Amino acid sequence: MGKRADNDDAGRTALERVVADVQTTRSRIARLQAKEARLLTDAADIVRAREQARRDAGRKTPHDLPLREISAELGAAMRLSDRTVQARMSAASTLRESFAATLAQLREGRIDLAHASAIVDAGASIGDPTMREQYERIMLEAAGFETPPRLRAIARVVAARIDPDLAEELRSRAVGLRRIRLIDLEDGMARLLADLPAVLAHAIFDRLTRMAEKERDAERAVVVSDGEERESTALQVVGDAEPSRPAVPIEGEREGPSLIILEAGVAESSRPGERSAGDRQAPRLTTRPRSEERALDELRADIFADLVLTGAPTGHGDVLASIRAEVQITVPVLTAAGKSNEPALLAGYGPIDRATACELAAGAPGWDRVMFHPHSGLPMAVDRYRPTAALRRFLRARDQRCRFPGCPHRPKRADIDHTIDRAKGGATSDDNLAHICRRHHTVKHATAWRVRQLGGGVLEWISPTRRRYVDKPTSAVQFVPSSVFARLLAAPYDGAAPF
């Protein structure tokens, strides 16, 4: 026992050293990235000085000749195209001139260039210096614990809330850029790219995923009878059963029965001498060989081709045509009522236009009313005119993704996990529940990672090396206090639906 403990301590010490060195190295890289950004802004200053000198001398040469000359020189030195260098020079200049606090944190190694780019890309269009400063302050706070991809998604939301008029103008322009692109690839393949409004793109992907999952389940389900495999013709839910337990128990709450078996009367055979259905042994599920199965991405692609070329998934059976897409949107009540231009939000993406949001809400079979705290941005309560599981709706509105640091998986594909296991006395309440995807659910139970709730939906994850990582609800991270909340608090709400 003592030898095993010594090995564990040695392994933990080695991991601690690696993690510390990685953090130090990334901090050094960030400082070098800040230095490169400064050098690129120096190059931009040289370009402007030469352009001014040419104008003063009255030379009749292309106005961007100095830029071409210098970017070509830097491109050759950096082994990059001159156009890439021009883009980097422009981004570096914007970072220096409009986002000084972000540049300062990059120089200190507290964020890296990917975080800085996410902040600059979404906020560069904010023209008012005061509003841009407010945006930058919120984003730098979030950058302390968010990954660059999640920070980029949050940045779109915060920028839209800081300057909703500008966000609406940019969305209107973007709609005019929708298009389909075809790119030829090798080995008889080609890539079809579609630039669409976010709601449509997310809905298409969701419906394809649902169809692909159903088709994958159908491909895997076969009947074994008399030592012979045959395709099943039906599936029937027969109720709860005790599944074989995994090596590590995973706590999760999922609706519906825990086991699906094949219908007993499967496909009568006309071959002579075969026993009747009543005499046959009960059929059981097996799994196809992996070589015969299509991956989820393959199934999505195949069904997409069916839908586009035939107008329906004819190659995969009529049952897939009944599957509908699902998207989750959040619409501020004053926006829905036409009294505010605060943006509506598409879960997993960010801000969308009011007209699309209201059209989706009006045609939805049901919608939740979520009340947020005016200062923290956290949901305080959820109710619905068609009552269902209120706690599940609350958690979905609060979390909007897997709550492990850096994970982007959406709640509907995650488990609702008790932070303190139910078997150990943990309560089934919002301050002891959070959405965790299956991958990180396993990490929580099967490794030395631990998690605890700090209140207000904030989770603190403790790593095997005792480091602590805070994960805040998306709704709180992207929250922007504004005068809208002051008007909401001043005027009593009569409870009437906005549409």
Share of the chain above pLDDT 70, in %: 71
Q: Look at residue 274 and tell me whether its pLDDT is greater than 60.
A: no
Q: Worst-scoring range by mean pLDDT, 97-111, 419-433, 451-465?
A: 419-433
Domain extents for the chain? 2-181, 196-322, 329-490
Q: In sequence order, what DSSP letters do the residues of 385-429 get, joined into one string?
A: SS---HHHHHHHHHHSS--STT----GGGSEEEESS-GGGT--SS
Region 248-277: what's the mean pLDDT?
36
Region 291-309: what's the mean pLDDT?
81
Coil, strand or helix at 273: coil
CB 113 within 8 A of CB 146: no
Q: Look at residue 244 and tell me whether its pLDDT is greater than 80.
A: no
Q: Look at residue 151 and tell me whether its pLDDT is greater than 50.
A: yes
Q: Look at residue 260 and tell me whether its pLDDT is greater than 50.
A: no
Region 455-468: what's the mean pLDDT?
88
DSSP state of 246: P
For 31-68, the pLDDT digits (tens) are 999 999 999 999 999 988 888 887 777 776 666 778 88
Q: How would residue 199 be classed by pLDDT, with cut points 50, 70 and 90? A: confident
For 357-370, the pLDDT digits (tens) are 887 777 776 666 67
Q: How would residue 317 be classed by pLDDT, with cut points 50, 70 and 90? A: low
Q: Look at residue 266 and tell me whether its pLDDT is greater than 50.
A: no
- What is the structure's pLDDT at 281? 43
Q: In sequence order, what DSSP letters do the residues of 217-268 get, joined into one string?
A: HHHH-EEEETTEEEE-S-EE------PPPPSS----B-SS-S--EE-SS---
- What is the structure's pLDDT at 105? 93
Q: What are phi and psi of 498, to 5 degrees?
A: -75, -15
Question: Cα dihedral angle (65, 66, 67, 72), rounded to 10 degrees?
Answer: 90
Q: Which two tokens stand for residue 254?
A: 């999922």
CB 29 within 8 A of CB 112: yes
Q: Look at residue 249 and tell me whether its pLDDT is greater than 70.
A: no
- What is the structure's pLDDT at 97? 92
CB 437 within 8 A of CB 402: yes
CA distance 2 to 471: 36
Q: Which two tokens stand for residue 315?
A: 């190659």
- What is the structure's pLDDT at 19? 92
For the chain, the first-to-last Cα distance in angstroms comes to 67
CB 251 within 8 A of CB 421: yes
